Structure 1
């Protein structure tokens, strides 16, 4: 999947969640709440990596590692969009920065 497709699909899904949040809470989540949700899922990625390596107990009702990694990517796309950050440009700039840093 291309990043632009990720961003477009993320926006549609987030819009649907905003409607649900408005129904449940009277307003959609803020960017701060989105960031906290991302951090929660990022923590779960850590636990699932540990479970994958055999150093943390798990059960079959937990989401899978690949699902949680993808969800974190979705959250990051959502946060970038809300912050008016072009995810494709940001990622390209980051990768170029790291490549240059590691080749010098």
Structure 2
């Protein structure tokens, strides 16, 4: 997934440079991600019955994938090994959940 996200980001950078004279900064990518999270929130409301639409399941799947692309792109921009970070974070959470107060 990381490699494919990187390839798509590279193509977007070319389009941005052609259209705007430069590619988006990581801050602009983050702002785009925030917009996608807002769209995702509306779709989650739809699943709860508050914002129904006929293509809800497809739109939800698309928006989740769009958000994942943003996370992968930001991780790549900051040289974060997302696989390793995910594993260590899940290990930490599982340790907390199996602790004496769990």
TM-score, normalization: structure 2? 0.89
Instruction: Give runs of aligned pairs for residues 16-35 of structure 1, distance below 5 A.
Output: 16-35=11-30
Alignment equivalent of 1:42, drawn from 20, 24, 37? 37
Structure having greater relative contact order (Cα 8 Å, sep ≥ 6)? 1
User: Is structure 2 residue 2 aligned with structure 1 residue 10?
Assistant: no
Q: What count of residue pairs does the alignment treat as equivalent?
A: 98
Instruction: Give runs of aligned pairs for residues 80-95 of structure 1, distance below 5 A.
Output: 80-95=75-90
Alignment equivalent of 1:64, drawn from 49, 54, 59? 59
Task: Look at both structures and tell me which one has the larger radius of gyration over its CA atoms.
Answer: 2
Superimposed CA distance per residue, residues 47-100 of structure 1 (whole angstroms, 9 cap, x where no aligned partner): 00101221124465xx70010001100100000000110110111111111111
TM-score, normalization: structure 1? 0.88
Unaligned runs of 5+ residues in structure 2 are: none
Unaligned runs of 5+ residues in structure 1 are: 1-5
